[in-house]
């Protein structure tokens, strides 16, 4: 898979890809992540990427021309399955969306800033608009990092058995059951007996029960 991220702040975005699972996925060649600075696609000598909004109002708007130049260059080099715009008014990201995006070959992720992008960018180029939640970030970069993390960890070969995504919360529509590790007793706090029993049938049933119980308690909306 190849992900092209278009941003005015590539330096804000790079570090999540330089550690742990995402770093390993890139090193293994399972994903390529490329950063494109919109300022590199401006003609003006002071690299202007935003301007005042027509009709007046607070806040700057990202201009169409540099974004058009960047997206058009990328599209001339390969086909893209989705061109995603990170924005608080997009569809809210969930596991189902991450699962389906992880199957794609090439995606572009455009990070908004200031008041967002000129609407004509959205109308002409964007195929999907994604929000990471009902709150406003200073820009789409942190949202893009979250989106890429959810997608990349699902690419086959990125996680090993121990970290398999199949047992994550939400994968089966439920929250994950509680987990424990050594020591079996800590300051009087013990681990559920069944987990020490070695009876894998019983352990599986216990985990299913706990997942359901936890979901009922914490996220009943998931069961509807
Ligand atoms: N940009 C600003 N806020 C955002 C959000 N909640 N999700 C995605 N991109 C954003």
- What ipTM did this prediction achieve? 0.98
Lowest mean pLDDT: which of 28-42, 89-103, 155-169, 171-185?
155-169
- Which one of 8, 110, 131 would you pick to mutate in the ligand 1 pocket, going by the greatest count of ligand atoms within 8 A of its CB? 131
pLDDT tens digits, 60-71: 999 999 999 999
Question: Would the pLDDT of 162 be above 60?
Answer: no
Q: How far apart are CA 130 and CA 89, in angstroms?
A: 8
Question: Does residue 92 line the site of ligand 1, with CB under 6 A?
Answer: no
Q: Which two tokens stand for residue 81?
A: 């399955």
3-state SS class at 40: helix
Structurally, what CATH architecture does the domain formed by 2-152 represent? Answer: 3-Layer(aba) Sandwich (3.40)
Q: Enumerate the β-bridge partners of residue 52.
A: 60
Which of 119, 174, 110 minimizes the C-alpha distance to 144? 110
pLDDT tens digits, 34-60: 999 999 999 888 899 999 999 999 999
- pLDDT classification of 104: cutoffs 50, 70, 90: very high
Question: Would the pLDDT of 163 be above 70?
Answer: no
Q: Tell whether omega for the bond before 197 is within 30 degrees of 0, i.e. cis.
A: no
Q: Please say whether the beta carbons of 115 and 88 come within 8 A.
A: no
- Which residue's structure tokens are 């424990």? 180
pLDDT tens digits, 182-222: 999 999 999 999 999 999 999 999 999 999 999 999 999 99
Question: Would the pLDDT of 167 be above 80?
Answer: no
Q: How far apart are CA 224 and CA 221, in angstroms?
A: 6
Question: Does residue 116 line the site of ligand 1, with CB under 6 A?
Answer: no
Return all residues near 40 (Cβ < 8 A) that are at least 6 apart.
70
Instruction: Indicate the helix (H) or strand (E) that contains 189.
Output: strand 189-190
Q: How far apart are CA 163 and CA 113, in angstroms?
A: 34
Q: Please say whether the beta carbons of 170 and 95 come within 8 A.
A: yes
The CATH number that domain 169-223 falls under is 1.10.1270.20
CATH 3.40.1280.10 range(s) for the chain read 2-152
pLDDT at 216: 97
Q: Which two tokens stand for residue 100?
A: 């389906």
- Which one of 117, 140, 147, 148 would you pick to mutate in the ligand 1 pocket, going by the greatest count of ligand atoms within 8 A of its CB? 140
Q: What's the rounded mean pLDDT across residues 129-148?
A: 97
Greatest C-alpha distance within the chain: 70
CATH 1.10.1270.20 range(s) for the chain read 169-223
- Which residue's structure tokens are 């681990």? 191
Q: 53 vs 168, which has greater pLDDT? A: 53
* Ligand 1 center–CA 146 separation, angstroms: 10
Q: Where are the beta strands (DSSP E) in 28-183?
A: 32-37, 50-52, 60-62, 82-92, 106-111, 128-131
């Amino acid at each position: 898979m190849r992900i092209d991220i278009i941003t005015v702040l590539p330096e804000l975005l790079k570090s999540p890809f330089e550690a742990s699972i995402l770093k390993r996925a890139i090193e293994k060649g399972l994903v390529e992540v490329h950063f494109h600075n919109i300022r590199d696609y401006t003609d003006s000598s002071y690299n202007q990427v935003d301007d005042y909004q027509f009709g007046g109002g607070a806040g700057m708007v990202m201009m169409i021309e540099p974004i058009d130049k960047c997206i058009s260059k990328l599209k001339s080099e390969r086909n893209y399955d989705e061109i995603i715009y990170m924005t608080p008014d997009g569809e809210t990201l969930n596991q189902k969306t991450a699962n389906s995006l992880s199957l794609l070959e090439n995606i572009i992720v455009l990070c908004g800033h200031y008041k967002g992008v000129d609407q004509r960018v959205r109308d002409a180029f964007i195929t999907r608009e994604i929000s990471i939640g009902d709150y406003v970030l200073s820009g789409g970069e942190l949202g893009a990092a979250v989106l890429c993390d959810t997608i990349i960890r699902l690419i086959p070969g990125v996680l090993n058995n121990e970290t398999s995504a199949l047992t994550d919360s939400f994968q089966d529509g439920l929250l994950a059951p509680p987990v424990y590790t050594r020591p079996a007793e800590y300051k009087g706090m013990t681990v559920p007996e069944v987990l020490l029993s070695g009876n894998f049938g019983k352990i599986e049933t216990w985990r299913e029960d706990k997942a359901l119980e936890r979901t009922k308690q914490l996220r009943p909306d998931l069961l509807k």
